[in-house]
Amino acid sequence: MKHIFISASVGAEGMGNSNNSTQKNLEIDDNPLNKEERHALEAYYQNTFLHENLPSKEKFCCEFASTCYPQFGAACYHYITGNSNQLSFQLFMKFVINGARSNSTKTLQLVWDILAIDQKEQDDELEQQLRVDSFFLLLLELSGCDPEGIQVTAARLGQHVKKMTRRNDSNSMRITSRDLINWTNEYAPHAHKVFVSYINSKCFSAVELIGHVPFRSPILEGGSSVINQSDIVPLALYDITLQGRWKKLYTTQADGLSFNRIAHHILGYSVCLLPVSFDCC
Amino acid sequence: MPHGLGMGGSLEKFRLFIPDTLEDCVAHANCLTFESGSLLSPSNSSSPFDLSSPNSGAFSIDVLEIWGCGGEELVNEALTAQMKDRGDRDEMIRKARLVDKAAFANNMFDQEFLLPKNYSHKVRMADASCCEEDKAAAKATNIP
């Protein structure tokens, strides 16, 4: 049996409030986009979504396609356009601002509401659990994670949310957006940056963004026989120092199973280490 | 002090301890350093991600990987620091292996017992001068 453990701590438990939000708040007071960003967004909108000078739903769905959550493009379009079902630059800009130029809570709430578009009943417990699972599937895919292991990791994260938000007063497994946001604040404070980086990479690729630290998916340099990228993305969501390049310092297969070799390869390395063990006993 | 690699907890009870023999490694579910939680999957669970109950226990290593992280800049800095540390240690070992022969030049004991062949002429000269002194002393006191 595999025993896989990672020597990294996680934060304290979060508290959940039952606060179903049905908002599709696209109202903004001030436009946080500067002149350069706005021009870039206009150019992107015109080049990407307009077909014969008319906005195309098909092009939009194609641009925001997702492998793990195939309905994502259509759900986004429906969320933005509402009952009018007609995309406009103003609506799209508001979507971008709420997704990529707001605080973490608004960004995550936006994603939750988009996922709710595809669900029939927001209050249904099963639908909410599916929405949580879909959230993590989307999160892992947009973080640049390899497809291998996404399903398992998403299920694991969903289980953790359910465990942490289990209510003492009932056997209900109802999870609200507030529960999910509280969970991300405690265990994945960089989760919203995945969505922000996703939108920035699409809409502002030609612009130098000042003050925006993108999410960098962790990369196992040289590969691993024990873990895959989807195993460590949750860690990168917790701590920014776990993003980016991971350098393999020691492996039994290349360096031998000996404490002398372990010591040789880790002594003198002045930053954090992360041992991962695979036990077949 | 135990010999091995320990993390968290205390010297008496590490949260995770890998001894230098790499056998009988131990992982606990609780410590005062990190938040509680299982580092091992339950042996009776089919899922490696069953978080239903904290689990402590012994395990043995089949494959071990150790990764350095911290971002591109920090990783490069740490690798540079490691190279320097290895260089320093190698230099220290090299110096320890070198014999300073000049130090023997002033030490009669080392010359006679550690490098007898190199300094045998000096020993003979010392013996010869002792004999000459004995002869001179004997003549002075009229000892035949």
* CB neighbour class for B118 (10 Å; exposed up to 12, middle 13-18, buried from 19): exposed
Contacts of A48 (CB under 8 A, 6+ apart): A59, A63
Instruction: Name the nearest CA neighbour of A175 among A191, A195, A159.
Output: A159
**Minimal Cα–Cα distance from A259 to chain B, Å?**
5
pLDDT at A146: 83
pLDDT at A99: 93
CB distance B75–A245 less than 8 Å? yes
Phi and psi (nearest 5°) for A36?
-65, -40
Q: Which residue of B has its CA nearest to A248?
A: B67
Residue from B35, B36, B61, B65 to probe the interface with A (highest A Cβ count within 10 Å): B65
Q: How far apart are the first and last CA of chain B?
A: 71
Binned at pLDDT 50, 70 and 90, residue B45 comes out as very low
The conformational region for residue B96 under phi > 0 = left, psi -120 to 50 = alpha, else beta, is alpha
**Minimal Cα–Cα distance from A256 to chain B, Å?**
9
Does any CB of chain B come closer than 8 Å to the CB of residue A91?
A: no
**Minimal Cα–Cα distance from A228 to chain B, Å?**
12
Helix (H) or strand (E) holding B16: strand B14-19
Helix (H) or strand (E) holding B123: helix B120-140
CB distance A5–B64 less than 8 Å? no
Q: Name chain A contacts of B60, Cβ cutoff 8 Å.
A: 279, 281
With beta carbons less than 8 A apart as the criterion, state whether A273 and A266 touch: yes
Does any CB of chain B come closer than 8 Å to the CB of residue A261?
A: no
| From B51, B64, B70, residue closest to A160, measured CB to CB | B51
pLDDT at A275: 67
With beta carbons less than 8 A apart as the criterion, state whether B37 and B13 touch: no
Instruction: Name the nearest CA neighbour of A244 among A266, A265, A271.
Output: A271
Contacts of A210 (CB under 8 A, 6+ apart): none
Average pLDDT taken over every residue of chain B = 80
pLDDT at A259: 92
Sheet with A219-221, strands from edge to edge, namely A4-6, A273-278, B63-68, A245-251, A219-221
**Minimal Cα–Cα distance from A108 to chain B, Å?**
25
Q: Name chain B contacts of A247, Cβ cutoff 8 Å.
A: 67-69, 75, 79
CB distance B59–A262 less than 8 Å? no
User: For the range A95-101, what are the long-range contacts, defined as Cβ-Cβ under 8 Å and sequence gap of 24 or more?
Assistant: A95/A26, A96/A33, A96/A41, A96/A199, A96/A203, A97/A28, A97/A31, A97/A32, A97/A33, A98/A25, A98/A26, A98/A28, A99/A195, A99/A196, A99/A199, A100/A195, A100/A196, A100/A199, A100/A200, A100/A203, A101/A32, A101/A33
Q: What is the pLDDT along chain A (281 residues), one digit of tens a residue?
A: 333 344 333 233 333 333 333 334 444 456 888 888 999 999 999 989 887 777 788 889 999 989 888 889 999 999 999 888 889 999 999 999 999 999 999 999 999 999 987 665 555 677 777 889 899 999 999 998 888 889 999 998 998 898 888 755 556 667 889 999 999 999 999 999 999 999 999 999 878 777 788 999 999 998 898 888 998 999 999 999 899 999 999 999 999 999 999 999 988 888 777 766 665 44
Place of tokens 């280490």: A273
Does any CB of chain B come closer than 8 Å to the CB of residue A246?
A: yes
Residue from B18, B41, B69 to probe the interface with A (highest A Cβ count within 10 Å): B69
Q: Name chain A contacts of B36, Cβ cutoff 8 Å.
A: none
Q: Which residue of A has its CA nearest to B18?
A: A259
Q: Name chain B contacts of A272, Cβ cutoff 8 Å.
A: 68-70
Q: Name chain B contacts of A224, Cβ cutoff 8 Å.
A: 65
With beta carbons less than 8 A apart as the criterion, state whether A168 and A218 touch: no
CB distance B59–A224 less than 8 Å? no
* Secondary structure string (H, E, C) spanning chain A: CCCEEECCCCCCCCCCCCCCCCCCCCCCCCCCCCHHHHHHHHHHHHHHHEECCEECHHHHHHHCCCCCCCCHHHHHHHHHHHHHCCCCHHHHHHHHHHHHCCCHHHHHHHHHHHHHHCCCCCCCHHHHHHHHHHHHHHHHHHCCCCCCCHHHHHHHHHHHHHHHCCCCCCCCCCCCHHHHHHHHHHHCCCHHHHHHHHHHHHHCCCCCCCCCCCCCCCEEECCCCCCCHHHHHHHHHHCHHHCCEEEEEEEHHHHCCCHHHHHHHHCCCCCCEEEEEECCC
| Secondary structure class of B64 (helix, strand, coil) | strand
Please count the residues of chain B: 144
Interface of A with B in 216-245 (CB under 8 A): 218, 220, 224-227, 240-245
Does any CB of chain B come closer than 8 Å to the CB of residue A11?
A: yes
CB distance B71–A227 less than 8 Å? no
CB distance A274–B82 less than 8 Å? no
